[in-house]
């Protein structure tokens, strides 16, 4: 672990523990990667609190029903806004059994519903399966959200590869002439599968360039990633939802986030951007362990609440 960069002292023990337990992610098989994520999810899972309900429902998809978990406040009456939380896991390790603690934390902080879809995953289901499934879920919520108690206000949120999907859904929705979500929240987003930025070539805390390239290869095989797979390579970003972008100072994906923010602003999209120095990829979900992650989570919730209230809509 290089000491030439500022590393938040709170995260150092976690980095050392992950390095000791998992080593080089890029050398793990798909089965080993999934086992690693399952082990981590089990170790960090918390019992469902009394003030939150955990349900399941399905959305029609292009290749069959798409299973979704639905978290909502216990005893809530009336329609509620919806956060769609696209799961991360380098695409290959996504599971509805491994949603983490963010859905419950969002329900408790915002009094909203949280929908977590399970898109098809590679290598069994290569590109564009996940993109198509996530777009199908968003379209269904726009047209049928009242079925699950939604009030029509939707925010898309994703971390890492989940943020790739959130940003892509906004672009796909624009192209299809659909309404945009109130906000797209992109935490440590992967936005270009072929990036060669300084950060991707310098940092390897938690996530390395080799890990990223391996995940892309599992998704795209021997073919180069098409433009649709990389939101930063979209021909046009104008017309997509306002964005709240969270980057980490030691994340190999950091510079992609900065570049996406710059493009959104240049094309007239409302953007708020918060970079957290000394933090690594995945820190946003560590709000039970890290002070900076708790700050990031609360700031994110404030932005989402403003979006639900219509405060980010054009005047």
Which residues, in sequence order, are CB contacts of 43 under 8 Å at separation 6+?
A: none
Q: Which residue has the higher pLDDT, 163 or 125?
A: 163
Q: Give pLDDT tens digits for 268-283.
A: 999 999 999 999 999 9
* % of the chain residues with pLDDT over 90: 71
Catalytic-residue membership of 88: no
- In DSSP terms, which residues pair with 150 in a beta bridge? 80
Residue 2, pLDDT above cutoff 50:
no
Q: Which residue has the higher pLDDT, 275 or 31?
A: 275
Mean pLDDT for 247-267 is: 98
- The values of phi and psi at residue 62, to 5°, are -65, -20
Mean pLDDT for 294-315 is: 92
Residue 46, pLDDT above cutoff 80:
no
Of 213-222, 292-301, 302-311, the range with the lowest mean pLDDT is 213-222
* Catalytic, out of 119, 132, 160, 211: 160
- The values of phi and psi at residue 82, to 5°, are -125, 130
Mean pLDDT for 190-218 is: 92
Residue 21, pLDDT above cutoff 80:
no
Catalytic-residue membership of 160: yes
Residue in the block written with tokens 């949280």: 114
CA gap 193, 61 in Å, rounded:
25
Question: For the packed helices 129-144 and 161-175, what is the interaxial angle rounded to 10 degrees?
Answer: 60
* Catalytic, out of 199, 251, 255, 287: 251
Superfamily of domain 12-308: Alpha/Beta hydrolase fold, catalytic domain (3.40.50.1820)
**pLDDT-derived band at 35, boundaries 50, 70, 90:** confident
Which run of H or E residues covers position 83? Answer: strand 80-86
Mean pLDDT for 191-216 is: 92
pTM of the model: 0.94
Catalytic-residue membership of 281: yes
Q: What is the mean pLDDT of the chain?
A: 91
Q: Which residue has the higher pLDDT, 22 or 55?
A: 55
CA gap 166, 156 in Å, rounded:
6
Residue 33, pLDDT above cutoff 50:
yes
* Catalytic, out of 119, 276, 281, 287: 281
**CA-wise closest residue to 165 among 119, 199, 101:** 119
Q: Give pLDDT tens digits for 128-169.
A: 999 999 999 999 999 999 999 999 999 999 999 999 999 999
- The C-alpha R_g of the chain, in whole angstroms, comes to 18
Mean pLDDT for 238-255 is: 98
- The values of phi and psi at residue 180, to 5°, are -85, 155
Domains of the chain by residue range: 12-308
């Amino acid at each position: 672990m290089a000491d030439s960069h500022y590393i938040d002292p709170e995260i150092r023990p976690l980095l050392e523990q992950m390095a000791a337990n998992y080593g080089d992610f890029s050398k793990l098989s798909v089965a080993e990667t999934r086992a690693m994520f399952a082990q981590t999810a089990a170790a960090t899972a918390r019992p469902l609190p009394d003030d939150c309900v955990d349900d399941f429902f399905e959305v029609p998809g292009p290749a069959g029903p798409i299973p979704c978990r639905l978290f909502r406040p216990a005893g809530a009456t009336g329609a509620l806004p919806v956060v769609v939380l696209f799961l991360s896991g380098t695409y290959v390790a996504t599971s509805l059994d491994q949603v983490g603690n963010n859905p419950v934390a969002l329900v408790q902080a915002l009094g909203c519903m949280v929908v977590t879809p399970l898109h098809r995953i590679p290598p069994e289901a290569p590109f564009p399966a996940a993109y198509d499934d996530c777009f199908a879920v968003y379209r269904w919520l726009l047209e049928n959200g009242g079925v699950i108690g939604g009030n029509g206000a939707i925010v898309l949120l994703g971390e890492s590869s989940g943020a790739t999907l959130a940003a892509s859904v906004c672009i796909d929705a624009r192209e299809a002439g659909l309404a945009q979500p109130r906000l797209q929240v992109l935490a440590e987003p992967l936005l270009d599968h072929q990036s060669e930025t300084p950060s991707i070539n310098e940092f390897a805390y938690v996530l390395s360039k080799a890990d990223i390239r391996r995940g892309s290869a599992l998704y795209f095989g021997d073919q180069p990633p098409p433009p649709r797979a990389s939101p930063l390579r979209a021909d046009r970003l104008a017309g997509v939802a306002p964005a709240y972008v969270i980057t980490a100072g030691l994340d190999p994906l950091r510079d992609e986030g900065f570049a996406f923010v710059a493009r959104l602003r240049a094309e007239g999209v409302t953007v708020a951007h918060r970079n957290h120095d000394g933090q690594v990829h995945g820190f946003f979900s560590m709000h039970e362990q890290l002070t900076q992650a708790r700050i990031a989570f609360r700031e994110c919730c404030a932005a989402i609440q403003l979006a639900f209230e219509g405060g980010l809509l054009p005047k």
